[in-house]
């Protein structure tokens, strides 16, 4: 069979499989509503097939794979330094934060430790990517409810943070800046003062958002008591990050799982909220953004001097072994289970991405809600499609 | 927190991991085949195939590991196609893997496919990797879904990517791939087709520069 023919067959088979899912859901009573894959509320190509009884969702089933890029397979044919260019694109808003756990896992197997200054700069860039990521959520969640202004504010102020990231790394979205043993470059002149000024702006942005959104009656009516996830269920589904902290679980990998970065050198607080609803998730993320600006400020003030790279061989071979490193990324726990067999390329990389587990609770939490709330609950769970599909 | 604190913490977490592994070994009895602790870093246990579900039950209900990180599969067979990086484009598509050279990871193993699940305790802040051999002939394992509802998608992913079936899973169908996709892409003997049709552009990095020939042009 020639390749075009087999491609055509594969395409037809795919269509047929999609049709089967629809038929399967339609055979019982009730109406089927298809959200996506190109629906504005799914910001990406997530598709939710919801079976409705009137306005009530009886069953909701997310269907993924429209953006599956097979990163776990691709990492097996790339050398360690090449992998960071790839995994930048998993959660494209929290770009730098994706690189860090993988590099840490490789460093652990190689028994290399980055110098303090490199760890410091890593932590700062990590938190900057958190701020730029969550700032967009803070605007986006409001726009899902029909409030247009916050998203403009978010794009306006996020720009300052992206500029700072760009000034150091040269890339706004895909820095590819972290190296085994340290980081690529040192900070440019005057960057510390500029970043202090940006942090002041971001705190002002948080205040604005708090005034505009949190106190809004419509926002409260649409989010309070909607999409409640009890702590027990959340843990069972592997929910992490702000989603689980909004259910009252006081757990943050930055504090509880020190991996060598500089979070334990500064004074900050883990915010939790007891309610577990959409409002709590928004509230926790807002507080976290504020807290991140404080972390950045303190780290900038205590920047150690010294080298930014440890001594590593020019051609990197990672000794055989296995390591799992997870960090608290903007979306939640992001980890890499790295298996090395002493070669230039990883043997197997299991990417444990936050959104994948965070979204796996969607069928549970969407069941029994009303159609308009589907959009707010999905927005409050905050997923990035690249982080689900990988 | 000062650096001295971090150091003492490193020592205590090590003892804590030894204790965590010992707890598992005691609760599971014969089912627990092997344990491994990387001091201050991580710990692993390997259970027999029949004990896979029991390990999850023990973890969640007896030892209070309430959080599930992930469930996945590792294919230990060396890739028959090498690393697809520095190999020629027209490499033999019918290459056979050298199964004898299979090296299992930290806790050893007997089969080609091995399942790995990671559970985390919020009380002690320790994560435990639970490994389990998957029989080569059946490629079937009990599902953890009765214990951790969240493994639903993880097991579906493992099913489509490695062809490992999970008994007791309510809807074991493809997660990412089209419904009628044939093959299991993450298996080592599934070729990466992108590298078959086009040579990897990164390969130019290792080629000698064109002017490093006999006239010494490489100096300029």
Residue A304: per-residue pLDDT: 87
Residue A200: per-residue pLDDT: 92
Chain B segment 35-54 residues within 8 A of A by beta carbon are 38, 41-42, 44
Residue A151: per-residue pLDDT: 86
pLDDT exceeds cutoff 80 at A235: yes
Instruction: From A303, A315, A361, select the one nearest A342 (Cα to Cα).
Output: A315
Task: Kindly list the residues from chain B whose CB atom is less than 8 angstroms away from the CB atom of residue A72.
Answer: 161, 186
pLDDT exceeds cutoff 60 at A291: yes
SS3 (DSSP) at B154 = helix
Instruction: From B35, B57, B72, B48, select the one nearest B162 (Cα to Cα).
Output: B72
Residue B212: per-residue pLDDT: 46
What residue numbers bound the domain in which B116 lies?
3-219
* Mode of pairing for the β-strands spanning B113-121 and B67-75: antiparallel
pLDDT exceeds cutoff 80 at A43: no
| Angle between helical axes of A191-209 and A149-169 (0-180°, round to 10) | 160
Task: Kindly list the residues from chain A whose CB atom is less than 8 angstroms away from the CB atom of residue B150.
Answer: 236-239, 357, 360-361
Q: pLDDT digit string (tens) for A313-334?
A: 877 788 888 889 888 888 888 8
- Kindly provide the residue ranges of all beta strands, DSSP E only, lying in chain A, ordered along the sequence: 31-35, 47-53, 56-63, 178-179, 182-183, 321-329, 332-340, 348-352
Count of the separate structural domains present in chain B: 1
Cβ–Cβ gap B175/A339 under 8 Å: no
Cβ–Cβ gap A10/B192 under 8 Å: no
| Angle between helical axes of A116-144 and A371-381 (0-180°, round to 10) | 170
- The burial of A212, by beta-carbon neighbours within 10 Å (0-12 exposed, 13-18 middle, 19 or more buried), is given as middle
Cβ–Cβ gap B192/A73 under 8 Å: yes
**Residue A215 in tokens:** 């106190």
Residue B213: per-residue pLDDT: 46
Confidence class of residue A7 from pLDDT cuts 50, 70 and 90? low
B147 Cα to chain A: minimum distance (Å)? 8
Domain A71-389 has CATH 1.10.645.10: yes
| Angle between helical axes of A95-110 and A80-87 (0-180°, round to 10) | 160
CATH number at residue B61: 3.30.460.80
**Residue A389 in tokens:** 């599909």
Q: pLDDT digit string (tens) for A134-193?
A: 998 888 888 888 888 888 888 888 899 999 899 988 888 888 888 888 888 888 888 888
Task: Kindly list the residues from chain A whose CB atom is less than 8 angstroms away from the CB atom of residue B152.
Answer: 360
**Which residue in chain B has the smallest CA separation from A333?**
B69
Question: What ipTM goes with this model?
Answer: 0.80
The Cα B133–Cα B142 span in angstroms is 12
Using the structure block, give the residue that is written with the tokens 């990671």: B118
Cβ–Cβ gap A324/B42 under 8 Å: yes
Task: Kindly list the residues from chain A whose CB atom is less than 8 angstroms away from the CB atom of residue B83.
Answer: 76-77, 343-345
- The burial of A29, by beta-carbon neighbours within 10 Å (0-12 exposed, 13-18 middle, 19 or more buried), is given as exposed
Helix (H) or strand (E) holding A323: strand A321-329
Average of per-residue pLDDT across A64-80: 83
pLDDT exceeds cutoff 70 at A290: yes
Domain residue ranges of chain A, discontinuous segments joined by +: 71-389
Cβ–Cβ gap B67/A350 under 8 Å: no
Cβ–Cβ gap B185/A73 under 8 Å: yes
State the pTM of this model: 0.82
Cβ–Cβ gap A236/B66 under 8 Å: yes
B151 Cα to chain A: minimum distance (Å)? 7
pLDDT exceeds cutoff 70 at A27: no
Q: Looking at the partner chain, which of B83, B103, B192 has a beta carbon nearest the beta carbon of A344?
A: B83
Interchain contact A160–B (C-beta under 8 A) = no
Task: Kindly list the residues from chain A whose CB atom is less than 8 angstroms away from the CB atom of residue B131.
Answer: none
Task: Kindly list the residues from chain B whose CB atom is less than 8 angstroms away from the CB atom of residue A249.
Answer: 122
The Cα A285–Cα A281 span in angstroms is 6
CB A349 within 8 A of CB A337: yes
Task: Kindly list the residues from chain B whose CB atom is less than 8 angstroms away from the CB atom of residue A335.
Answer: 69-70
Chain B segment 53-82 residues within 8 A of A by beta carbon are 66-70, 72, 74-75, 79
pLDDT exceeds cutoff 80 at A58: yes
The Cα A277–Cα A279 span in angstroms is 5
Chain A segment 67-96 residues within 8 A of B by beta carbon are 68, 70, 72-74, 76-79, 82
Cβ–Cβ gap A14/B181 under 8 Å: yes
CA atoms within 13 A on the CB side of A215: 7
Mean per-residue pLDDT of chain A:
84
Chain A segment 33-72 residues within 8 A of B by beta carbon are 64-65, 68, 70, 72
Positions in chain B short of pLDDT 70: 1-13, 82-101, 195-196, 198-220
Residue A284: per-residue pLDDT: 92
Cβ–Cβ gap B129/A249 under 8 Å: no
Average of per-residue pLDDT across A82-109: 87
Where on the phi/psi map is residue A190: left (φ > 0), alpha (ψ -120 to 50), or beta? left
**Among A41-50, A309-318, A343-352, where is mean pLDDT lowest?**
A41-50
**Which residue in chain A has the smallest CA separation from B153?**
A360
Interchain contact A16–B (C-beta under 8 A) = yes
Cβ–Cβ gap A235/B66 under 8 Å: yes
Cβ–Cβ gap A357/B150 under 8 Å: yes
Query: Which of B178, B192, B196 best tests the A interface by mutation, with the highest count of A CBs <10 A?
Result: B178
**Which residue in chain B has the smallest CA separation from A320?**
B105
């Amino acid at each position: 069979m020639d390749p075009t023919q087999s491609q055509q067959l594969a395409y037809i088979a795919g269509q047929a499989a999609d049709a089967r899912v629809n038929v399967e859901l339609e055979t019982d009573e009730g109406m089927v509503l298809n959200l996506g894959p190109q629906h504005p509320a799914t910001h990406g190509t997530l598709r939710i097939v919801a079976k409705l009884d009137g306005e009530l969702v009886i069953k909701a089933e997310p269907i993924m794979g429209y953006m599956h890029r097979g990163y776990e397979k691709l990492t097996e044919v790339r050398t360690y330094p090449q992998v960071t260019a790839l995994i930048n694109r998993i959660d494209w808003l929290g770009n730098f934060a994706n690189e860090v756990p993988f590099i840490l896992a490789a460093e652990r197997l190689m028994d290399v430790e980055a110098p303090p200054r490199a760890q410091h700069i890593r932590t700062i860039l990590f938190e900057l990517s958190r701020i730029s990521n969550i700032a967009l959520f803070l605007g986006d969640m409001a726009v899902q409810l029909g409030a247009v202004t916050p998203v403009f504010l978010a794009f306006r102020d996020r720009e300052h943070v992206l500029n700072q990231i760009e000034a150091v790394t040269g890339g706004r979205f895909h820095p590819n800046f972290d190296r085994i043993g340290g980081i690529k470059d040192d900070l440019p002149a005057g960057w510390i003062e500029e970043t202090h000024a940006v942090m002041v702006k971001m705190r002002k942005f948080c205040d604005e958002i708090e005034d505009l959104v949190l106190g809004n009656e419509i926002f409260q009516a649409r989010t309070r008591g909607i999409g409640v996830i009890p702590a027990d269920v959340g843990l069972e589904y592997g929910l992490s990050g702000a989603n689980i902290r909004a259910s009252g679980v006081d757990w943050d990998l930055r504090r509880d799982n020190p991996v060598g970065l500089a979070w334990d050198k500064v004074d900050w607080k883990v915010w939790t909220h007891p309610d577990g609803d959409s409002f709590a998730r928004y509230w926790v993320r807002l507080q976290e953004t504020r807290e991140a600006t404080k972390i950045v400020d303190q780290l900038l003030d205590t920047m150690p001097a010294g080298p930014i790279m440890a001594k590593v061989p020019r051609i990197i071979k990672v000794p055989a072994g296995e390591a799992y490193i997870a960090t608290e990324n903007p979306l939640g726990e992001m980890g890499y289970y790295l298996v090395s067999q002493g070669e230039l390329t990883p043997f197997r990389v299991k990417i444990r991405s936050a959104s994948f587990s965070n979204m796996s609770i969607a069928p549970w939490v969407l069941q029994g809600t009303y159609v308009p709330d589907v959009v707010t609950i999905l927005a409050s769970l905050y997923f990035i499609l690249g982080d689900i599909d990988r | 927190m000062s650096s001295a604190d971090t150091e003492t913490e490193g020592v205590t977490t090590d003892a804590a991991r030894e204790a965590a592994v010992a707890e598992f070994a005691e609760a599971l009895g014969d089912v627990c085949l092997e344990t491994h602790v990387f001091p201050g870093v991580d710990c692993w246990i390997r259970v027999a195939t029949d004990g896979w579900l029991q390990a999850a039950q023990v973890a969640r209900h007896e030892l209070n590991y309430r959080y599930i990180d992930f469930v996945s599969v590792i294919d230990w067979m060396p890739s028959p196609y090498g690393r697809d990086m520095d190999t020629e484009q027209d490499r033999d598509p019918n290459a056979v893997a050298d199964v004898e050279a299979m090296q299992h990871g930290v806790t050893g193993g007997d089969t080609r496919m091995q399942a790995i699940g990671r559970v985390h305790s919020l009380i002690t802040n320790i994560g435990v990797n639970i490994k389990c051999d998957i029989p080569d002939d059946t490629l079937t394992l009990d599902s953890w879904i009765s214990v951790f509802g969240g493994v639903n998608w993880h097991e579906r992913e493992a099913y489509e990517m490695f062809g490992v079936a999970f008994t007791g899973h309510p809807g074991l169908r493809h997660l990412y791939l089209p419904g009628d996709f044939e093959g299991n892409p993450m298996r080592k003997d599934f070729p990466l087709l992108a590298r078959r049709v086009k040579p990897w552009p990164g390969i130019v990095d290792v080629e000698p520069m064109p002017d490093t020939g006999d006239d010494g042009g490489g100096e300029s």
